[in-house]
Amino acid sequence: MPPQHGVLLALFVIGATVLGCGGSLLYPRESESRDVKLLDGVWKFRVCTQEDQDAGFREKWFARPLEKSGPVIPMPVPASFNDITQNATLRDYVGWAWYQTEFFAPSGWGNGEGRVFLRFGSVHYMAVVYLNNQQVAKHVGGHLPFGAEVTKALLYGGKNTLTVAVNNTLTESTIPQGSVFRPQDSKRYPPDYYKQNVPFDFFNYAGIHRSVALFTTPKHYIRDIT
């Protein structure tokens, strides 16, 4: 491939990544036409077992209080979940982790005169976001903000439930790269055992790493000036 083609391809990929962030690259600031509500705090948290990584999706943990699915612990957001407890298994955990919180949306936001967006500053590495049992966003990439419009998904003047499934598995296509070791030796390893391998000095810190916020805009607004 000619060098100039490689540069163009890189620019295309970067542009596609930026456009895929839902217009949420810039940090929202309050103004005369924009309200901001931070959702940071202590959320409910649990992880899936290695033997059943799909349990959260199959059993629809996002459709009910997370504690109904099994034991949960309080987890600060934003933070990396690895070093919050003294549990070595959680420190080294790789796979699906689930977060959930509840919040109230102001009644005035639902007057039909504006829009409401949900923004995540950073989630490592993959995130699937549910608001009131409805999937509203999916993002891959642990280092950029992302978001989605949630105007029609919110309950205004009432309690809302936000659930986020996070997966920190690193593969050949992630940044940074990694691999998953799945031994086929039932005498030495338990069923469904796997281990994350990273071929350089890197610890796979994971979780909701930056602030989570709701912000409003007028119905007609400037989304991008690039």
Instruction: Identify the CATH number of the domain in which residue 105 sits.
Output: 2.60.120.260
User: What integer pLDDT is reported at residue 87 of this predicted model?
Assistant: 93
Q: Tell me, yes or no, whether 225 lies in a domain.
A: no
How far apart, in Å, are the Cα atoms of 130 and each of 80, 118, 148, 153, 176?
20, 11, 11, 10, 26
How far apart, in Å, are the Cα atoms of 10 and each of 3, 13, 20, 146?
11, 5, 15, 20
**Domains in the chain: how many in total?**
1
Q: Tell me, yes or no, whether 226 lies in a domain.
A: no
Q: Mean pLDDT across the chain, nearest whole number?
A: 85
Q: Tell me, yes or no, whether 223 lies in a domain.
A: no
Q: Tell me, yes or no, whether 85 lies in a domain.
A: yes
Q: Tell me, yes or no, whether 190 lies in a domain.
A: yes
User: What integer pLDDT is reported at residue 196 of this predicted model?
Assistant: 63
User: What integer pLDDT is reported at residue 210 of this predicted model?
Assistant: 97
Please state, as a whole number, how many other Cβ atoms lie within 10 Å of the Cβ of residue 100: 23
Domain with 201, as residue range(s), is 3-218
Q: Tell me, yes or no, whether 185 lies in a domain.
A: yes
- DSSP, collapsed to helix, strand or coil, labels residue 75 as strand
Q: Tell me, yes or no, whether 150 lies in a domain.
A: yes
Q: Which secondary structure element, helix H or strand E, spans residue 119, and what is its range? A: strand 114-120
Q: Give the residue ranges of the chain where pLDDT is below 70.
A: 1-24, 179-197, 199, 226
Q: Tell me, yes or no, whether 151 lies in a domain.
A: yes
User: What integer pLDDT is reported at residue 177 of this predicted model?
Assistant: 77
User: What integer pLDDT is reported at residue 59 of this predicted model?
Assistant: 98
